[in-house]
Structure 1
């Protein structure tokens, strides 16, 4: 349970039935913040995502902070990680997300977060078995292949350069989830955990006397395991009632092959509806905006992606964000699906959003929430590499409250 340790900085004792404990999540991009918060909300624990830093007092439930450092230089990543950790370090449970394919400034951010967290030990378990990401012998694998040898190693913006966590953290030691390791907490700085299944992660989280003694470092798989243990000491919080959306704008900024395949399915469906008769490259931005508005009105959904292959990643995100702003100003949509963490952050920054109140986790690694500003519209955020070819169709139908006939069959 959570009631065995009372930390000096944590005056509250956590007891079964307590609703007053606080969980801090620090993430390097927006989809990762959703990955960290979603599993808690799925089990009834209140959760919010903050873009930049927590505003006001740390609240009951989950406060997940998107530090937005994956595309920054290492020095900026460390300073922002430390600054934002300082704001949440008094949480009863601390979780630092890392990408399940080890992209980003993993070592620098974990070291910075641990130093500022007040915890003596970090447990690193990046496995996400539901998406084929496992850890064996300290090596991070995707469907059995070291992640740096997969397409994630070729990511233009943030490639996975290393698969072996022991090489990344030479002083760390490996632990087995099936063997008690509680006696090592406070004596060793960094422990790396193997995991091939969700059951392994559940066992891992069950060992320490208190979740509060450890900085937990991982992806949605570990977040779900920590959430299960936290949920034992909480009563579910109700989800606000919502009405179906009528015009869903799908924004795809990720270049991951899975995202492009999912986008292709959406564009193919729109083409069968009688639209998309001309290649996007032949149209001006005004033509594209006009076409998207027509599709949203006629079919209840449309897809937006950067058609200009000459754009860099940053330019593409800026183009997408400015186009979404035009569509918002035209009152063209009432719900958003955002794919790709940096794209999602760029869009929400442009709209002036600073907080997402999490409603649910429709699928592992996918988060549904409500924007705080400029309009309280629902938003689904999804990492580029998650899902199957019909994921965007399924999520669009979820927002429209339509049955996905093809999936059901």
Structure 2
């Protein structure tokens, strides 16, 4: 199997961590967003629909329009959803059906959101994180739109029929038959349990072998399984010239693990920590100017800077997008001093890159599960690492710093 792929994602970090699966197997892959022109020759194109913060109807409409713009019969579709069901996955999945029928004459989806490398699994059609029900976790308490993490119930909110294929089916000899039976009902989604990477590999293999090509729905765990179904190819390493400017780290995610990572990075002692409050970002022009001046001075001298949005008490999630754009505006003037960039949280990364007139990422490597490394495309080209806020551990930002430092000093991203 040497298919070309279109990955349609609901946020930037997800678009990157799915596409990097194919880059690691030797397939050229790029992430784009907005009105960026795209190269038909790129085997794996990942588009950030930036739909997680939209209203449900708007998210669905955006996905339908993007499929009409990008999807062709020559590309398989991977619909990336959040592994913890944030955003509007049900409505977005439903919105893909009509455009797919227009291209292929049918639409059958295989949903497997598990990402075992980051502790996300699916058992009995329900999402679990670190072995616990998703409903018992921080991310669900902080940000959820569905009443339950049961995937069939989630799909039903958008009028979608589904059939759960439990672990015994996924691991047994009857998986291909079960998928064929599920596909016999128009517009039905097969919900596949998975606890391990091997489970996902079995799902990918069986789905790719179907006569009527399905579309796949999931996170980076399934993307890695699909990418591994083809023989690895040779691809030249991505290289750049050495750069004496410092790296800018931006932490906008409210996830506890991102905050722990910021504390660990500060404790290492080699980064200037600049916490910034919502008041400064939204109502203090002098404070924003002072922030930019400090960042620019440090980066120009070759030092690393960590800018962290800090909130007191329980975070107000409704401010997330406003804060991301306000921070992007505050940092726009330092663009020429940035030697490398790392951003945690899809909204933060998308807002900052768009404001810096970056329109895409040429992917190079994966630092760890869920953390992609590449070169920016657009106004300038620098190494960039993106990480979903809830992925990784307390040392993830330290590992990202070390990898970006190697890229800047040695000129190699692989």
TM-score past 0.5 threshold: yes
- 2:131 counterpart of 1:144: yes
Corresponding position of 1:128 = 115
Asked if 2 retains the 8 angstrom alpha-carbon contact of 1:28 and 1:69, the reply is: yes
Matches of 2:21 and 2:333 in 1, distance apart? 33
Residue 212 of structure 1 and its aligned partner are, at CA, apart by 7.1
For 2:310 and 2:211, locate their aligned partners in 1 and report how far apart those are by CA, in whole Å.
46
Q: Is the 8 A contact 2:36 2:359 kept in 1?
A: no
Runs of 4+ in 1 over 4 A off after TM superposition: 158-161, 278-283, 307-311
Q: 1:22 maps to what in 2?
A: 4
Asked whether the 8 Å contact 2:155–2:162 carries over to 1, the reply is yes
- 1:303 equivalent in alignment to 2:297: no
**Partner secondary structure for residue 46 of structure 2:** strand
Q: TM-score, normalised by structure 2?
A: 0.84
Q: Is the aligned partner of 1:201 residue 2:197?
A: no
Per-residue deviation, 1:360: 1.3
Tell me which of 280, 286, 289 is aligned to 1:286.
289
- Structure 2 residue corresponding to 1:356, chosen from 356, 361, 365: 361
CA distance, structure 2, for counterparts of residue 121 and residue 279 of structure 1:
47
1:323 aligned residue (298, 319, 330): 330
Q: Which residue of 1 aligns with 2:33?
A: 51
Q: Which runs of 5+ in 2 are unaligned?
A: 281-285, 408-414
Q: Which SS does the other structure have where 1:235 is aligned? A: coil
Q: Which runs of 5+ in 1 are unaligned?
A: 3-13, 15-20, 403-409
Aligned mate of 2:397, from 386, 392, 397: 392
1:216 deviation in Å?
Answer: 0.5
Shift of 1:223: 0.4
Task: Deviation per CA, 1:1-28: give whole Å up to 9, x if none.
Answer: x3xxxxxxxxxxx6xxxxxx42110000
How has the CA–CA distance of structure 1 residues 343 and 380 changed in structure 2, closer, same or farther, with 3 Å as cutoff? same
Give TM-score, length-normalised by structure 1.
0.85
Name the SS for the 2:73 alignment partner. Answer: coil
Q: Where does residue 73 of structure 2 map in the other structure?
A: 90
Report deviation, 1:36.
1.5
**Larger displacement relative to structure 2 (217-226 or 181-190):** 181-190
Distance 1:279 1:196, change over 3 A: closer
Conservation of the 8 A alpha-carbon contact between 2:146 and 2:154: no
Between 93-102 and 163-172, the greater mean CA deviation after superposition: 163-172
Counterparts in 2 of 1:184-223, with a 5 A limit? 184-185=179-180, 186-188=183-185, 189-208=188-207, 209-210=209-210, 213-223=213-223
- Measured in 1, the distance between the counterparts of 2:358 and 2:367 equals 22
What is the distance in 2 between the residues matched to 1:279 and 1:314?
18
Contact 2:30 2:42 in 1 (8 A): no
Aligned residues: 377
Name the structure 2 match of 1:228.
Answer: 228
From the superposition, tell whether residues 37 and 144 of structure 1 become closer, same or farther in structure 2 (CA, over 3 Å).
same
